[in-house]
């Protein structure tokens, strides 16, 4: 599935470049909106919630979202989320860059563009949307490519969450210079999800690296467990999108922090 998504993404980017070459994006950077600090949002006391705007997934299909994405994001912010993640992949996750634009206009929080980055073009595009951070998947990018993308993100003042699932991917992410590591509790090959997977890798993450746990987080007991493992932030999507009261659900999750 991951290889299929990446292949289709590369084909789409080839078409985008024909319509709007990279040089055009670079020219527009001078007029880009200021970024909101994603790292600052994740390093406040306690666990920070990155609440995700997600309409569908390859494994579960449509989530039946009934309200505009901007309204959902506003409700996330009201509930205490400190950052918003927006799926922008179209075919498999029913997202769009228009969703990201709408969300960023609706909230004062930093916004993460969650997509499958396979070309530097997407980094420049993300900065101009504007996104404040991007997701880079270590399992999709060779280490030298990941390092190059992180350097571009640094030049663009764009935060990058490097997503890993294995100890080998984590080691590569750290060697490449990642400052924010996201441990994905979902295996992108089997799609099996276990929130305890974060505990297996958390001890390998240096203390000066921002640690995010992604996927499978459903209740305050999960958050309490992750807080005890030194996690700085959690990325929560499906459980919030499906909730009748996402503000209340975020508050319930935050109640699971050590001392919360």
**Residue-wise pLDDT tens digits, 174-211:** 999 999 999 999 887 777 889 999 999 999 999 999 99
Angular region, 53: left φ>0, alpha ψ -120 to 50, beta rest = beta
State the catalytic residue, choosing from 9, 48, 74, 114: 114
Residue 155, in any domain of the structure: yes
Residue 153, in any domain of the structure: yes
Range(s) of the domain holding residue 67: 2-28+36-254
Active-site residue flag, 215: yes
pLDDT of residue 59: 79
CB 178 within 8 A of CB 151: no
Residue 260, in any domain of the structure: no
Active-site residue flag, 168: no
Active-site residue flag, 74: no
Residue 19, in any domain of the structure: yes
pLDDT of residue 259: 41
Active-site residue flag, 214: yes
- Strand pairing partners for 159? 133
Give pTM, 2 decimals: 0.95
Active-site residue flag, 163: yes
CA angle 80, 114, 11 (to 5 degrees): 165
Residue 259, in any domain of the structure: no
Domains in the chain, number: 1
State the catalytic residue, choosing from 9, 52, 213, 247: 52
Q: At what angle do helices 167-176 and 143-156 cross, to 10 degrees?
A: 50
pLDDT of residue 260: 40
Q: Give 7: exposed, middle or buried? Use CB within 10 Å, 0-12, 13-18, 19+.
A: exposed
State the catalytic residue, choosing from 77, 89, 125, 163: 163
- Strand pairing partners for 213? 183, 234
CA angle 66, 59, 105 (to 5 degrees): 40
Token pair recorded at residue 251: 């508050």
Active-site residue flag, 143: no
- Domain with residue 238: its CATH number is 3.20.20.70
- Name the stretches of the chain with pLDDT < 50: 258-260
**Residue 109: closest CA among 30, 50, 24:** 50
Residue 105, in any domain of the structure: yes
CB 47 within 8 A of CB 130: no
């Amino acid at each position: 599935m991951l290889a299929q998504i990446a292949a289709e993404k590369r084909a789409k980017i080839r078409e985008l470049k024909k319509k709007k070459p990279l040089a055009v994006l670079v020219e527009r950077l001078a007029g880009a909106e200021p970024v909101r600090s994603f790292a600052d949002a994740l390093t406040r006391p306690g666990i920070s919630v990155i609440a995700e705007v997600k309409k569908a997934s390859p494994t579960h299909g449509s989530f039946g979202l009934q309200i505009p994405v901007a309204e959902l994001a506003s409700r996330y912010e009201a509930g205490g989320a400190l950052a918003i993640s927006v799926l922008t992949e179209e075919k498999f996750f029913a997202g769009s860059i228009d969703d990201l634009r709408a969300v960023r206009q609706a909230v004062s929080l930093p916004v993460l563009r969650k997509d499958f980055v396979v070309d530097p073009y997407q980094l420049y595009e993300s900065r101009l949307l504007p996104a404040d951070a991007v997701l880079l998947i270590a399992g999709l990018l060779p280490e030298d490519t990941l390092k190059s993308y992180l350097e571009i993100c640094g030049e663009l003042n764009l935060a990058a969450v490097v997503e890993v699932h294995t100890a080998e991917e984590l080691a590569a992410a750290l060697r490449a210079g990642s400052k924010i590591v996201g441990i994905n509790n979902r295996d992108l090959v089997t799609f099996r999800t276990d929130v305890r997977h974060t505990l297996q890798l958390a001890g390998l993450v240096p203390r000066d690296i921002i640690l995010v746990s992604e996927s499978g987080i459903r209740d305050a007991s999960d958050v309490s467990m992750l807080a005890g493992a030194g996690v700085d932030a959690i990325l929560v999507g499906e459980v919030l999108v499906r909730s009748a009261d996402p503000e209340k659900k975020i508050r319930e999750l935050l109640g699971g922090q050590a001392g919360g």
